[in-house]
Amino acid sequence: MADITAGNGREGTVPLVKVRDLKMYFPIHAGLFRSHVGDVKAVDGVSFDIMPGETLGLVGESGCGKSTVGRAVLRLYDVTGGTIEIDGFEIAHVDRDSLRPKRPMMQMIFQDPQASLNPRMTVASIIGEPLDEHMKLSGEERLARIYELMDWVGLNREFAKRYPHEFSGGQRQRIGIARALALNPKFIVCDEPIAALDVSIQAQVVNLLEELQDRLDLTYLFISHDLSMVRHIADRVAVMYLGRIVEVASREKLFAEPLHPYTQALLSAVPEPDPESERHRKPIVLQGDVPSPANPPKGCNFSTRCPKVMDICKQQEPGVFDFGGGRQVACHLYAESMTKTAEPTGGDTGN
């Protein structure tokens, strides 16, 4: 089956991040001798491009493989299959020594700022640790860089000698962002960076990420289940279900006219700020539970819950159908009217 490819559609632009047929399987062992009896297919053939300076939003319900994609793209996991190119360098299957010089250009902002910060280290030590590992700076240069990073993310320099437990959740996330920026990366994976924060703080952190992107020309993979925040920050959106991308489109097109039944169900659950619109909103309630990634259904992964399921959905995996402008959908509903594709497409994406 052709894999959906989240191409941007910008003619002549070389992707900063290029992922093809990414697979991340976790082995299942059982029995007295711990025999290999199967695999959890957390990511099963994901492909996408991210262009320099853009934000690709990756959405889907819990357990669909979003965070695993982010960690695999940065080679925090050894991938099962596929290729990953970042700034023209293939990192999916290189050894750790060859990967180390490339680490500064790709960083990650983690979901839980409390768990991702060492409680025994001061703010200055946390932010300065990447500098110690990858750069040779004098003590004065190191301190100046730490202060500069704290200024960028809105932290008072007087906090440099404090410990993580002395800060609020939003401040701790700012420390994590400063650490991610320390080595001047080109690409940052934001793994649900606002999920553990109060609603009142979430907008501040997202606005900070946007300001830093504009100032430093950063490229983001923004992983989230909060569709309202994805709508605010992302240029394009890729929708995942059970280890695969089922639809990708520009933010405007996806929210205005979702095509895949799963995307339609997701967006129907988003509350409307207008009371009149909210009164007439009719959420699509999906029946049943998400199948196990260790035993996905035959045919389309969504066939067991899809309100528009057909017989072919239960027998055959859907191809990828191209609607132009970088919009692609993996669904049998469009088999007759569209052309299958497996490559990024040209045209205006609405960015």
| pLDDT per residue as tens digits for the range 179-198 | 999 999 999 999 999 988 88
Contact 24, 42 (CB under 8 A): yes
Contact partners, residue 33, CB within 8 Å, separation at least 6: none
Query: Domain for residue 141, yes or no?
Result: no
CA diameter of the chain: 68
Query: Domain for residue 110, yes or no?
Result: no
Alpha-carbon distances, residue 67 vs 110, 164, 192 (angstroms): 10, 24, 8
Query: Domain for residue 308, yes or no?
Result: yes
Confidence of residue 342 (pLDDT cuts 50, 70, 90): very low
Q: Give φ, ψ of 8 to 5 degrees.
A: -80, -30
What average pLDDT score do residues 137-153 get?
95
Q: What whole-number distance in Å separates Cα of residue 139 and Cα of residue 220?
A: 31
Residue 232 domain boundaries? 5-87+186-340
Comparing CA positions, the residue from 327, 312, 316 lying closest to residue 245 is 327
Contact 293, 243 (CB under 8 A): yes
Query: Domain for residue 181, yes or no?
Result: no
CATH number at 22 reads 3.40.50.300
Confidence of residue 7 (pLDDT cuts 50, 70, 90): low
What average pLDDT score do residues 215-236 get?
94
Query: Domain for residue 109, yes or no?
Result: no
Contact 133, 157 (CB under 8 A): no
The pLDDT > 90 percentage for the chain reads 71
Query: Domain for residue 301, yes or no?
Result: yes
Q: What whole-number distance in Å separates Cα of residue 52 and Cα of residue 97?
A: 26
Query: Domain for residue 121, yes or no?
Result: no
Q: Give φ, ψ of 80 to 5 degrees.
A: -80, -40
Query: Domain for residue 281, yes or no?
Result: yes
Q: What whole-number distance in Å separates Cα of residue 190 and Cα of residue 116?
A: 13
Q: What is the domain count for the chain? A: 1
